[in-house]
């Protein structure tokens, strides 16, 4: 039900958002409720989807890597995507290369290599396709840039992201994604003041032209660190929307801005807020094992900070753990409970929303795996790829790996019917 003439004084704060907790005002309603706030539709959904739960039909097509594959050695896989040619592109952040697998699982090419020359990269964790080119852009973390590589392996030019080192600052590139020709990058611009022992961190989500020109800025967060005796490294303060981010086929940008609220803001490609939607949801408290994982991550981050820096790990997991713009126009949202505590027999569960923000169904994947350790990534061309040991690999990339030798990573490709 739409209420165009109802305009609350402000969008409800955390304690009383419509989708926060069983006592919310729309807890018993299946239909979405829409109100206008400063002219922007805000869509509140109840806890249950309109059309119930659907189980994906998934058929294993191939698997590569692992202990028994003598041809394919995987280091640390951090990003997977499919191309219009049906091939699967796999970024290996340890070997610093992009492996290309055919639809049948044959290794048909290797793109890029470690280095600083054209088509070479280092410290890379994510990749995307580039607009207007048959090329991929590998997101090099530092110095922040997209390293362009044509699909034939030749250099495609770089896009530099963020600050000017000559002015005393620099940028870290965390993520990059393309949708509807809109290239969107997220990262941090850093500025140091050694005399004052401070660091200013400008977190950003913005779009870039193929020539590297800054276009729209969608979301920012500024954090000031002063390294004195009272400095504390807090996870919640450092939180940003790195993985709570997607770009749809029209170039709209979806961002899960709050950390512990199930709320997604939708911006047009020029940066104007079009819609906000979410659902009633109970935040998930972290287990001791998950607390230890994040403590290890923060310990690795703290190695670059003054010795003895105190660190504070959040006790609640972020509500959203990923947004994907599906090819049919709907939005698939991964929640903390759908990722870490799925129903028995399921590896994970996604919440599916219409472009208007209505919670229409849940989709579950019933495939073998370890929830919260392995990662299942849906592609744009009817496949899903399981990365075994994904989160152990993330820890290793950060220098926070656990003691003991981990099993080699494996890729398992499924055809989704």
Cβ neighbour number for residue 245 with a 10 Å cutoff: 24
pLDDT confidence band for 168 (50 / 70 / 90): low
Q: For 45-69, what is the mean pLDDT?
A: 96
Q: How far apart are CA 286 and CA 291, in angstroms?
A: 6
pLDDT attached to residue 21: 36
On the question of pLDDT at 11 being above 70, the answer is no
pLDDT confidence band for 399 (50 / 70 / 90): low
Q: Which domain holds residue 128?
A: 2-416
**pTM here?**
0.89
Q: For 357-369, what is the mean pLDDT?
A: 97
On the question of pLDDT at 24 being above 50, the answer is no
pLDDT confidence band for 7 (50 / 70 / 90): very low
Interior/surface letters 106-140, b for 16+ CB within 10 angstroms, e for the rest: eeeeebbbeeeeebbbbbbbbbbbbbeeebbbbbb
On the question of pLDDT at 18 being above 80, the answer is no
pLDDT in tens, 385-394: 999 988 877 7
Give the list of residues 6+ apart from residue 258 with CB closer than 8 angstroms, or none: 14, 319
pLDDT in tens, 312-360: 999 999 999 999 999 899 999 999 999 999 999 999 999 999 999 999 9
Q: How far apart are CA 385 and CA 186, in angstroms?
A: 24
Alpha carbons within 13 A on the beta-carbon side of 76: 18
Q: For 34-62, what is the mean pLDDT?
A: 97
On the question of pLDDT at 15 being above 80, the answer is no
Q: How far apart are CA 135 and CA 151, in angstroms?
A: 5
pLDDT confidence band for 2 (50 / 70 / 90): very low
Question: Which residues is 36 bridged to in the sheet?
Answer: 41
CATH code for position 117: 2.120.10.30
Q: How far apart are CA 304 and CA 193, in angstroms?
A: 15
* Phi/psi of residue 108, nearest 5 degrees: -110, -15
What are the contacts of 104-111 at 24+ separation with CB within 8 A? Answer: 104/61, 104/62, 105/61, 105/62, 105/63, 105/64, 105/413, 107/64, 107/71, 107/72, 109/153, 110/153, 111/136, 111/149, 111/151, 111/153
pLDDT attached to residue 273: 98
Out of 6-10, 276-280, 368-372, pick the least confident: 6-10
Classify burial at 298, counting beta carbons within 10 Å of its beta carbon; exposed 0-12, middle 13-18, buried 19 or more: buried
pLDDT confidence band for 68 (50 / 70 / 90): very high
Length of the chain as a residue count: 417
pLDDT in tens, 185-217: 999 999 989 899 999 999 999 999 998 899 999
pLDDT attached to residue 85: 87
On the question of pLDDT at 94 being above 80, the answer is yes
Q: How many domains does the chain have?
A: 1
Out of 153-167, 216-230, 311-325, pick the least confident: 153-167
Out of 5-14, 85-94, 133-142, 225-234, pick the least confident: 5-14
Cis (ω within 30 of 0) for the bond into 47? no
Average pLDDT of the chain is 88
Percentage of residues in the chain having pLDDT higher than 70: 88
Question: 310-312 and 383-387: which strand pairing?
Answer: unpaired
Cβ neighbour number for residue 258 with a 10 Å cutoff: 19
Q: For 112-135, what is the mean pLDDT?
A: 94
Q: How far apart are CA 137 and CA 157, in angstroms?
A: 9
Helices 390-397 + 288-302 axis angle, to 10 = 20
Interior/surface letters 42-56, b for 16+ CB within 10 angstroms, e for the rest: bbbbbbbbeeeeeeb
> Which run of H or E residues covers position 368?
none
Give the list of residues 6+ apart from residue 177 with CB closer than 8 angstroms, or none: 128, 183, 184, 245, 246, 247
Q: For 21-35, what is the mean pLDDT?
A: 58
């Amino acid at each position: 039900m739409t209420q165009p003439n109802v305009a609350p004084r402000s969008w409800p704060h955390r304690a009383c958002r419509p989708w926060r907790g069983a006592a919310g005002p729309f807890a018993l309603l299946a239909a979405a409720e829409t109100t206008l706030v400063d002219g922007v539709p805000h869509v509140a959904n109840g806890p249950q989807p309109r059309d119930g739960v659907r189980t994906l039909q998934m058929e294993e097509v191939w698997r590569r890597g692992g202990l028994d594959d003598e041809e394919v050695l995987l280091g640390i896989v951090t990003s997977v995507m499919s191309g219009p040619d049906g091939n699967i592109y796999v970024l290996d952040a340890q070997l610093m290369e992009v492996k290309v697998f055919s639809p049948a699982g044959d290794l048909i090419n290797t793109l890029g290599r470690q280095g600083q020359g054209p088509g070479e990269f280092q410290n890379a964790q994510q990749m995307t396709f580039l607009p207007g080119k048959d090329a991929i852009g590998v997101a090099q973390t530092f110095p922040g840039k997209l390293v362009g590589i044509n699909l034939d392996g030749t250099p495609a030019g770089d896009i530099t992201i963020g600050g000017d080192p000559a002015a005393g600052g620099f940028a870290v590139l965390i993520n990059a994604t393309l949708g509807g020709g809109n290239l969107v990058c997220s990262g941090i611009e850093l500025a140091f003041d050694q005399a004052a022992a401070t660091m200013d961190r400008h977190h950003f989500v913005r779009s870039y032209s193929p020539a590297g020109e800054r276009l729209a800025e969608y979301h920012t967060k500024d954090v000031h660190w002063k390294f004195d005796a009272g400095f504390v490294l807090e996870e919640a303060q450092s939180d940003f929307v790195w993985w709570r981010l997607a770009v749809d086929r029209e170039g709209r940008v979806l961002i899960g801005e709050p950390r512990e609220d199930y709320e997604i803001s939708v911006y047009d490609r020029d940066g104007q807020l079009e819609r906000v939607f979410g659902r009633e949801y109970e935040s998930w408290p972290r287990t001791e094992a998950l607390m230890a994982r994040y403590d290890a991550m923060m310990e690795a981050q703290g190695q670059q900070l003054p010795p003895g820096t105190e660190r504070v790990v959040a006790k609640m997991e972020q509500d959203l753990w990923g947004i994907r713009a599906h090819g049919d126009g709907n939005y698939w949202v991964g929640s903390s409970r759908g990722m870490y505590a799925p129903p028995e027999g399921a590896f994970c569960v996604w919440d599916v929303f219409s472009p208007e923000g209505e919670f229409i169904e849940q989709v579950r994947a019933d495939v073998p795996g370890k929830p919260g350790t392995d990662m299942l990534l849906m592609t744009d061309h009817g496949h899903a790829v399981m990365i075994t040991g994904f989160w152990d690999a993330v820890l290793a990339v950060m220098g926070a790996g656990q003691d003991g030798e981990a099993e080699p990573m494996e890729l398992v490709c499924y055809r989704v019917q």
